[in-house]
Amino acid sequence: MKKSVFFLAVFALCARVFAGEVEVSIRFYDKKVYHVSGALGEPVYVEVRITNSSPVTYRFKLADDRIFSVDFDVRSLSNQSLPPADYLQRRRSESRNVFFREIAVEPQESFAFVEDIRNYADMREAGSFIVQARIFPELLRTGNLAALESNRLNLNLRPALDDPPFEFDVETNAVLAREKLPPDGVVSYMLSARQKTQWEKFFLYLDLEAMIRRDPVRNRSWQNESEEGRFRMTARYRDDLSARIADGDISLIPNDFRVENTSYNGEQGTVVVTEWFQEGRVTERRRYTYYLRRHDDIWLIQDYTVEKLGTE
C-alpha cells in the first residue's frame, strides 16, 4: 500500500513538473517577408523548440514524418481556423507504419527542429494570421492526444509574387508557355511528352519543389538549405528524375495510357490514369493518381501515388 501511494505521488509530481516546466516555443526560422504561395510554393519555416526546465529528464516520441508529432493551428484575426493542407490530409489518411525515435531532453536543455507550416495549413489567401504549435509526446496515432501548446506568432501574408510560367524548347528554342489546360489535359501533356522523351515539356507542368518536399527526408534537407542551395537541389532533383534515380515511377515511359477519372474544385485536382508498360515479354498495368493544384489558372502536378494492377 505504501509503495502504491509512493508511486502515485511520484507520478503526480512528474505530471506537475512537466506541465509547468517543459515549454514549447516557436519562432520564425527566416526573417523575411512572406507571400501567398506561388507556383512553386514559398515555405514558411518555423523553429519548434522544446525546453526542459524541470529537474528530471523529459522523454517524448518524435515521428520521422513529423506531421504525426506536431500540429499547427493557424487562425485569422476573426478566429477562423484555416483548413488543413492537402499534404497533411493525404499523409495522415494513408495506412502505413509511423516510425519514430525517443528523444530525451535533459534538465536545463532544449531540443529544436524546423517545420514548414504550409504543410499543415492551407494558406492561399493574403492577410494576418495567428500561429500556434502543439506537440503530441505520444504521437497522433496512439489515441493519446495530450499535447503541449506553444506561444503564438503573428504571421502576415502578402499577395503572391509572379513566377515565370515558361521554359524553352531545346530543339526549336521557342518559348514553352504554360497554358490554361484542365487537370486531365496537364497530365496527358506530361505523359505524351514522356513518351516522346521531350524532357523540357515533361517538366513544364511539374511543381518540382513540391515534388522534392513530398518526401520527409528530402524536405528536412530542403529546410536546411540556403536559397542558392535550394536552387542546386532543384536542379539536381530534375537531373535525378531524368536518370530515374529519384521517383522513378513518374519518369517511366508508358506504352499507352488512359485517363479514368478527373475531379477538381477551384484549387485542387485529382486525375486517375491507367498506364501500360512493357516489361520484357509481358505488359504491366499500373494505376497512377496525380494530385494537382491551380495557381493563376495554371494547374501543376504536385504529388502522385502508384498502384500495380498486374500483367497482361
Do 151 and 172 reside in the same domain of the chain? Answer: no
Domain boundary among 125, 141, 158: 158
Do 146 and 26 reside in the same domain of the chain? Answer: yes
Do 209 and 292 reside in the same domain of the chain? Answer: yes
**H helices within 74-226, ranges in order?**
86-93, 183-195, 199-202, 208-213, 216-223
- pLDDT at res. 167: 55
Do 283 and 218 reside in the same domain of the chain? Answer: yes
Domain assignment present for residue 121? The answer is yes
Mean of all residue pLDDT scores within the chain: 83
Given a cut of 80, whether residue 38 has pLDDT beyond it is: no
Does 63 or 172 have the greater pLDDT score?
63
Least confident of 4-8, 17-21, 266-270: 4-8
Mean pLDDT of 27-56: 78
Count of domains observed in the chain? 2
Domain assignment present for residue 71? The answer is yes
Do 101 and 196 reside in the same domain of the chain? Answer: no
Domain assignment present for residue 229? The answer is yes
Do 144 and 249 reside in the same domain of the chain? Answer: no
- pLDDT at res. 229: 79
- pLDDT at res. 3: 45
Q: Sign of torsion, CA 115 121 124 128?
A: negative
Given a cut of 80, whether residue 96 has pLDDT beyond it is: no
- pLDDT at res. 12: 40
Do 286 and 270 reside in the same domain of the chain? Answer: yes
Total Cβ atoms within 10 A of residue 72? 26
Return the C-alpha torsion angle 210, 212, 213, 217, nearest 10.
Answer: 170
Q: How far is CA 155 from the centre of its chain?
A: 20
- pLDDT at res. 5: 41
Domain assignment present for residue 72? The answer is yes
Mean pLDDT of 62-70: 90
- pLDDT at res. 144: 65
Domain assignment present for residue 182? The answer is yes
Total Cβ atoms within 10 A of residue 127? 14
Domain assignment present for residue 10? The answer is no
Do 112 and 192 reside in the same domain of the chain? Answer: no
C-alpha cell at 216: 520527409
Domain boundary among 158, 177, 206: 158
* Cβ proximity of 119 and 67 under 8 Å: yes
Do 213 and 120 reside in the same domain of the chain? Answer: no
- pLDDT at res. 8: 40
Give the global pTM: 0.52
Confidence of residue 142 (pLDDT cuts 50, 70, 90): low
Given a cut of 60, whether residue 280 has pLDDT beyond it is: yes
- pLDDT at res. 272: 96
Do 97 and 191 reside in the same domain of the chain? Answer: no
Confidence of residue 14 (pLDDT cuts 50, 70, 90): very low
Domain boundary among 123, 158, 193: 158
- pLDDT at res. 231: 80
Domain assignment present for residue 5? The answer is no
Neighbour-count burial for 263-289, b at 16+ CB within 10 Å, e otherwise: ebeeebbebbbbbbbeeeeeebbbebe
Q: Sign of torsion, CA 109 11 48 220?
A: positive
Which domain CATH number covers 189? 3.10.450.50
Give the tens place of pLDDT for each residue, 145-160: 788 999 999 998 876 6
Mean pLDDT of 3-18: 42
Range of the domain at 51: 15-158
Do 132 and 253 reside in the same domain of the chain? Answer: no
Least confident of 50-59, 167-176, 181-190, 265-274: 167-176
Give the tens place of pLDDT for each residue, 169-219: 555 556 677 889 999 999 999 999 999 888 888 989 999 888 898 888 888
Do 94 and 171 reside in the same domain of the chain? Answer: no
Which domain CATH number covers 112? 2.60.40.2360
Mean pLDDT of 124-150: 85
Domain assignment present for residue 4? The answer is no
